[in-house]
Amino acid sequence: MAKLKALGNTQFHFPDLLKESSRLHGHLCPGQVLGVRMSIVGLAEIGICDPKGDDRKRIIVFVEMDRCATDAVQSVTGCSLGHRTMKFMDYGKMAVTFVHLKTGKAVRVIAREDSRQKAKEYFPEIENKYEAQLEAYKIMSEEDLFDIMEVHVKINPQDMPGRPLRRIQCESCGEYVQDMREVYREGKVFCRPCTAAGYYEPVGHAIS
């Protein structure tokens, strides 16, 4: 794993970003602190200064967890599922990859497991471990908080922001599938849940 040294992050104002992410998320928590700091370091590493302005169309993030920090990443980067600029990889890991679409530069930022223990050592007088983490994560060095690796990410045209490349009707349920998520089997075309177990099971008849 190549370890990179984070650049100076002077273009990002941590307290303001934390305030905004806590507002959007609904509360201040260790995940907000971590997510904001992950985003600052990740964006800086790929050379993004103005994620919600000039660089708006130049970033995609891959989040590997659906936890508090995910909202912080959305808040700082401006990337979201709805804009197709945030991809959710259900790995259950506290890690986020930041991709610069124009240069192809990408870094994966992983929260270090030992940062939890270190946080306690920073504030031994705080009994509640979440409170200790919250305060410690604000001041711990990037090296103590994160591992950073340079990565290559291939993003397919059907996963890019913009209009859907196509819409196709499932031959089993009749529902439409866009963005090339259809499945071809024995000369027929299906949606994913019709070829394997989906997350839902229909109960009785359609309501309308």
- Report the residue count for the chain: 208
The tokens for 146 are 């994160």
Q: Which of 44/68 has CB closer to Zn ion?
A: 68
Question: For Zn ion, what does the binding mask look like between residues 54 and 93, x meaning CB under 5 A?
Answer: --------------x-------------------------
Question: For Zn ion, what does the binding mask look like between residues 24 and 53, x meaning CB under 5 A?
Answer: -----x-x----------------------
Q: Which of 6, 48, 86, 191 binds Zn ion (CB under 5 A)?
A: 191
DSSP annotation string for 148-207: EEEE-----GGGSSSS-S-EEE-TTT--EEETT--EEETTEEE-HHHHS--S----SS--
Min dist CB 6 to Zn ion, Å, is 24
SS3 114: coil
Min dist CB 117 to Zn ion, Å, is 21
Q: Which of 18, 46, 59, 194 binds Zn ion (CB under 5 A)?
A: 194
CA proximity to 38, closest of 80, 9, 16? 9
What is the rounded (10 degree) CA torsion for 35, 119, 94, 155? 50
Min dist CB 23 to Zn ion, Å, is 12
Q: Which of 14/150 has CB closer to Zn ion?
A: 14
Q: Which of 4, 126, 151, 173 binds Zn ion (CB under 5 A)?
A: 173
The answer to whether 78 and 43 have CB atoms below 8 angstroms apart is no
The CA radius of gyration of the chain, in Å to the nearest whole number, is 20
Q: Which of 87, 172, 183, 195 binds Zn ion (CB under 5 A)?
A: 172
Residues that bind Zn ion (CB under 5 A): 29, 31, 68, 170, 172-173, 191, 194
